[in-house]
Amino acid sequence: MKHFRFALSISWRRPPESAYWLALVAEARLRQQQFTSAFYLYRRALENSPAMRGLHEAVAEIYRQTGHPDWASVEEEKERKLSPPDCHSHTFECDFQEGHFERVIAAATEANPEESYYWRSRAYNELAFNAFARLGQMPPSPEQHEIRAHIYSSQKKYIEAAEEWRQALKFSPGDRQIREQLAISLKFAQDYSGALLLFQDLLRTDPESTQLNYLVGDTLLELQRVEEATPFLRQVVARDPKSQAAHKSLARAYLAAGKSADAIPHLKAALATDEDGSLHYELGRAYQAHGQLALARQMLSQYQEIHSKQEAEKKSLNQEMQITAP
């Protein structure tokens, strides 16, 4: 579990166009079969570091997976033309290629340059996947299903994650953490009714839990049971005024109930979380409904800026993120 968790969470301060960082994120996308995204990131890494070994081979793998074996051959030939690593100066890479993952980790703990973090991350990943492969050969256990559930969740495969939590629950029927994780996976899988039953059952035995009150309220809101959701969300905001997620949900509840004036302070409190401009739009409409026209114009103008910027970025990204010939 230690190696697995580290592999998921490791990060470092890097230059914006770091080839090591781009390659590491690309590898994660490739493992999740996000081929277009992985291809884009590997190409950017190659632009920054054309002599970096392993990148052409990774691009070749994407070509093979997407039905372009001829293009894969071109990339494999480019990889073969690269000079082998000098194992006097590139000890991380050589140890990694020889499968000495523990040695890579040990060597990287003393020094923290960008390259060492890259190889350390890859070494932890290999140890994690090796451990998971061995775990798969052992008799079923709650830990085995827990790891699988975390992997599926990281891939946003919430239905599969929920099934793994169900299997883990068979070993420990009274485990609150497993039951809560199952409910969260069901919520993300949009099985709101199933999630709500579990959240409510957990809340009955821990009625003071701010998190469970929020989860019950937000799930009720997803089920459009607005009147039932509102008291839970009000309670969470009263206990934790800094919870932007709770403010956002409570604002949605008030808007759904036609209480735009009540929604305004909560929309303002959650505005920092607005990624798509929708909160700016709703706040602008709420101001407009209550005669605060200057503030309404300001919010709607900001909404338009966010929306236009997102559309331009999306268009540009769609053009760039295509799997093209070598």
User: Average pLDDT for residues 287-306, to the nearest whole number?
Assistant: 94
* Token output for 17: 């166009």
CB atoms within 10 A of CB 246: 27
Q: Encoding tokens for residue 150?
A: 């975390």
> Which residues, in sequence order, are CB contacts of 101 under 8 Å at separation 6+?
95, 123, 124, 126, 127
Sign of the alpha-carbon dihedral angle for 300, 305, 311, 314: negative
Query: What tens digit of pLDDT does each residue of 162-182 get?
Result: 999 999 999 999 899 999 999
For residue 89, with 0-12 CB atoms within 10 Å meaning exposed, 13-18 middle and 19 or more buried, which class applies? Answer: exposed
C-alpha–C-alpha distance, residues 261 and 292, integer Å: 11
* pLDDT tens readout for residues 211-231: 999 999 999 999 999 999 999
Distance (Å, rounded) from C-alpha 89 to C-alpha 252? Answer: 58
Q: Which two tokens stand for residue 266?
A: 């909560």
2: enclosing H helix or E strand: helix 2-9
Domain boundaries, the chain: 2-135, 274-320
Question: What pLDDT, in 10s, does the model give residues 118-167?
Answer: 888 888 888 877 877 776 677 778 888 998 899 889 878 999 999 999 99
Amino acid at 17: E
64 pLDDT band, cuts 50/70/90, is very high
313, containing H or E segment:
helix 293-320
Q: How far apart, in whole angstroms, are the C-alpha atoms of residue 219 and residue 234? A: 14
May I ask the CATH class of domain 2-135?
mainly alpha
pTM of the model: 0.70
pLDDT digits (tens, 9 = 90+) for 237-283: 999 999 999 999 999 999 999 999 999 999 999 999 998 899 999 99
Amino acid at 326: P
The four Cα atoms 143, 149, 152, 153 give a dihedral, to 10 degrees, of -130
Q: What is the torsion angle, in degrees rounded to the nearest 10, for the CA atoms of residue 316, residue 321, residue 323 and residue 326?
A: 80
| C-beta of residue 160 within 8 angstroms of C-beta of residue 138 | no
Q: Residue 78 is encoded by which pair of tokens?
A: 């480019």
Does the pLDDT of residue 303 top 60, yes or no? yes
Helix (H) or strand (E) holding 286: helix 278-289
